[in-house]
A and B are shown apart, each in its own frame.
Chain A
């Protein structure tokens, strides 16, 4: 199947700093990527849809100035958590669709963010 890779897989940062997470589709091009957030023992919550060459579409309740998304190429989307606070600590997962007919998504390994 299609491969999606995230980096870093684990990051610890101080409160007030910014953290960038990269999401790459390794063997296919993705005009659309999706960013999810997963809290412990909970489901995946869609944060935003990242569109190549245009602005991301954020879900209701997600602060666009806090979670900056850039999709500069067909194989790379980045999520930047700005001025991170402890409540931003979570597991962030990106995904991309290799088959626009079915809407099936392939997921990255996830990035665990811990804000001290």
Chain B
């Protein structure tokens, strides 16, 4: 069965610091990959997605992620975080067969001014 692991459970950064959140999945076939964000008190929103093409994908609010097939990874990055990036970040994988989205455990990011 497919699974998703996020190694960083809680990350604390100062504003302007660089961010990288790890995401690894276990599935040998074709996958579609997603990063979702959940701001305090709000519902899940899509940050970015990968399903084919350039393995470096850019999302909203300056986030990007790189799909490395050989490492089964899809790490999220941002060169300079802001206080408003404080949120919970979820990596998710859809192996398409069956067609369902499986989430990682999430990473709580706190950014201090």
Is B19 part of the contact surface with A, judged by Cβ < 8 Å?
no
Is A1 part of the contact surface with B, judged by Cβ < 8 Å?
yes
Query: By the criterion of a CB under 8 Å from any partner CB, how many residues of chain A are at the interface?
Result: 26
Q: What class of interface size applies to chain B in its complex with A?
A: 20 to 34
Number of A-B pairs, beta carbon distance below 8 Å: 54
* Chain A contact surface mostly: strand
The answer on a CB contact under 8 Å between B90 and A43 is: yes
Residue of A57, A102, A103 contacting most chain B CB atoms (<10 Å): A103
User: Across the two chains, which residue of chain B brings its CB closest to A102?
Assistant: B51
Q: Pick from A44, A49, A108: contact of B103, CB below 8 A.
A: A44
Set of chain B residues within 8 Å of A105, measured between Cβ atoms: 101
User: Across the two chains, which residue of chain A brings its CB closest to B32?
Assistant: A103
Residue of A32, A105, A109 contacting most chain B CB atoms (<10 Å): A105
Is A113 part of the contact surface with B, judged by Cβ < 8 Å?
no
The answer on a CB contact under 8 Å between B96 and A110 is: no
| A104 CB, nearest partner CB in chain B, Å | 6
Interface residues of A (CB under 8 A from B): 1, 32, 34, 36, 41-46, 49, 57, 93, 95, 97, 100-110
